[in-house]
Amino acid sequence: MNATVSLEPRQPRFAVRCVLDASDALLRVERWLLTFLMSLLTALILLNVVTRYSGVPLYWVDEASVYTVVWLTFVGASAMTRLRLDFAVTMLTDKLGARSARVAKAIATGGVLVFALALLAMCWIWMDPVGIARSGFDAREYAAESFNFLYTEHTQTLEWPVWVLQLIMPIFALCMSLHSLANLLEDLALAPRRIHPAFQATNADAVN
């Protein structure tokens, strides 16, 4: 009795598909956010130019532009992680065999995941949501007990709470963790590598 071997690629496990689908959904949201933030930044710069030449400058526009650039940078960095457009030094892997290069790539991707998780843990300690909740979300009482003045600070011109703007750090860490995990699953050959046609720049050459 002859055994037949299927040549069709195996479907990834349900948990793996969930991670990849979640990463793809997040990437679509990040694409929308990048478009929105770039449009907002352009509008703020034009508003700044017009008001300064009109002799009625709006000083809060400068601060708003800075924070827009910060959010744009972190959202873009998260998307670049999934698209594998982050910087890489290939002097070693170029001289390795195909199998060794795949192993090295998986190790590098695992390092990105470890970094993202460490950053997420640091943000948890820094923002201390449990501590501020125990203080009844009283920023002054929490600052007096912990000497963490994050929740009492406000921006200079917009007078916005600083912690709201700095939420981009834990958000970035969480998104980067998901994207790097999806990349690692692909590098370990647990799922075929997905292509993202919505992003035209899908390789380093396209960026240049």
Q: Is residue 3 a part of any domain in this protein?
A: no
d(CA 75, CA 56): 32
Query: In terms of Cα–Cα distance, which of 93, 79, 113 is closest to 186?
Result: 113
Q: For residue 52, which amino acid is it?
A: R
31 falls within a domain? yes
Across 38-47, average pLDDT: 95
pLDDT at site 125:
95
Q: Which two tokens stand for residue 58?
A: 């709006």
Percent of the chain with pLDDT over 90: 64
Band (50; pLDDT cuts 50, 70, 90) = very high
| Structural domain span for residue 51 | 14-188
Judge contact between 148 and 84, C-beta under 8 A: no
Residue 114 falls inside a structural domain? yes
Is pLDDT of 198 > 90? no
> What local confidence, expressed as pLDDT, does residue 31 receive?
95
Q: Is 206 inside a domain boundary?
A: no
Q: Is residue 135 part of a domain?
A: yes
pLDDT at 35: 95
Averaged confidence pLDDT in the chain: 87
Count of beta carbons in the 10 Å neighbourhood of residue 116:
22
pLDDT, residue 92, reads: 73
Supply the pLDDT for residue 117.
Answer: 97
- pLDDT value at position 78? 96
What's the pLDDT score for residue 30? 96
Residues contacting 206, CB < 8 A, separation 6+: 200
Q: Is residue 204's pLDDT more than 50?
A: no
* pLDDT at residue 189, as a whole number: 87
Average pLDDT over residues 1-22: 68
Q: Which residues of 179-192 are buried (b: 16+ CB within 10 A; e: fewer)?
A: bbbbbbbbbeebbe
Mark out the alpha helices in 54-138 (DSSP H runs).
59-83, 98-127, 129-134
pLDDT greater than 50 at residue 23: yes
pLDDT of residue 85: 86
User: pLDDT tens, 111-143?
Assistant: 999 999 999 999 999 999 999 999 999 999 999
Q: What is the per-residue pLDDT across 62-97, written as a single tens digit (0 to 9) for each? A: 999 999 999 999 999 999 999 988 777 677 777 777
3-state helix, strand, coil in the chain (%, to 5): 70, 0, 30
pTM to 2 decimal places: 0.84
Specify the pLDDT at position 200.
64
What's the pLDDT at 99? Answer: 84
In a domain, 155, yes or no: yes
Number of domains in the chain: 1
Q: Which pLDDT value is given to residue 1?
A: 44
Determine, yes or no, domain membership for 180: yes
In a domain, 204, yes or no: no
DSSP codes, 149-161 = -GGG-B-SSS--B
